[in-house]
Structure 1
Amino acid sequence: MTVLVLFTLGMLWVGGRIDTALAGERTGHGGLPRITVHVGDTLWEIADALTQEGDAGRAVHRIMDLNGLADSEVRPGTRLYLPEDLIR
């Protein structure tokens, strides 16, 4: 019985996570420019190459906020949304 309860709770948790992820895609970023991270890219280099602001640190934080990133580490293949006003 305990196993069944734990399994059910686990499935509800997974379902909630999937629904939250899909809701973020549906509501937020339509029409924003995006890039795909390549091997060797860092968020700092991406922000520095794209920014009009001249402050890569501020641009990094804006990209992190927009994409829900906990830190500035990105993996190859990751698609990042970029703030429109950030692009040169």
Structure 2
Amino acid sequence: MLVLGNYRLTNPRRLVRAVVILALSFAISILGITGSFAGSAPGGTLEFVTVQSGDSLWELADKYAPSQDPRDWIARVVMVNALETVELTPGQQIALP
């Protein structure tokens, strides 16, 4: 018999089972969250463009996703390209969802 604080474990398998269930639940929830971002592009396809002088993510949002909320679209572009800033450099290649 194992004693943890004021609790006695009469069946250690129950603790192991509970920990495994919690770990699986956590993993499934994380996969569900990341999967929702992966499905943000129709069919999972990306369009690659070369940034021109004067381009901004706001202008690209108007051009490539006029029916979407530009803030959401820009957030996806930043995530897909792992951008550290929203400033673009001419000649830079970026993927658009």
TM-score where L is the length of structure 1 = 0.54
CA RMSD of aligned residues (A): 1.5
What are the superposed Cα offsets for residues 9-33 of structure 1, whole Å, 9 maximum, x if unpaired?
A: xxxxxxxxxxxxxxxxxxxxxx621
Indicate the percent of aligned positions where both proteins have the same amino acid.
36
- Pick the structure with greater CA Rg: 2
Partner of 1:75: 89
Query: Which structure 1 segments of 5+ residues have no match?
Result: 1-30, 84-88
Counterparts in 2 of 1:47-58, with a 5 A limit? 47-58=61-72
Greater share of helix: 1
Choose between structure 1 and 2 for higher RCO, CA contacts under 8 A separated by at least 6 residues.
1
Number of equivalences: 53
Structure 1 53/62 Cα, relative in aligned 2: closer, same or farther at 3 Å?
farther
Counterparts in 2 of 1:1-88, with a 5 A limit? 32-83=46-97
| SS of residue paired to 1:66 | helix
| SS of residue paired to 1:60 | helix
Shift of 1:61: 0.7
CA distance in structure 2 between the partners assigned to 1:45 and 1:52 by the alignment: 10
